[in-house]
Amino acid sequence: MLGKNQRISKNRVSWLLQKSQKFNDGFFSVKFHLNKGTQNRYSIVVSKKLLKLATDRNRLRRQCYEALRLRPTQTNSTDFMIFIKSTALSLDFAGLQKQLSLVIDKITSLSNIQNGHKSP
């Protein structure tokens, strides 16, 4: 599980939904915005339409947080709000970890290009 300083606070969620950029992938839909902190912050959203039982939604959310925790830290600081799509339900933990890393890397390179930084 991610530490509290790596998760997006509830009062920041509504702001992020309005002011952020959006990126769509086959498995995830991500809203992101640069923050003034020193590290990335994450929020995982699993819809009740996707998984009816709260235990199933929480399990998938915990797996995503663990995959993000195991991921190497980045130099930029961005808020990521990750919405899980139904296609992600077919992934095991290793696949989930790989797809999350790919999406975060794509967004990081996109935001670096838009801000005039060279991508690594």
3-state secondary structure of 112: helix
34: tokens are 């640069």
Residues 6+ positions from 46 with CB-CB distance below 8 Å: 57, 60, 61, 84
Sheet holding 28-34, edge to edge: 21-24, 28-34, 78-84, 41-45
Residue ranges and CATH numbers for the domains of the chain are 4-114 (3.30.230.10)
Q: In this predicted model, what pLDDT tens digit does every residue of 51-94 receive, in sequence order? A: 999 999 999 999 999 999 998 876 678 899 999 999 999 999 99
CB 88 within 8 A of CB 96: yes
Which neighbouring-strand residues pair with 89? none
Q: In this predicted model, what pLDDT tens digit does every residue of 85-118 receive, in sequence order? A: 999 999 999 999 999 999 999 988 887 656 655 4
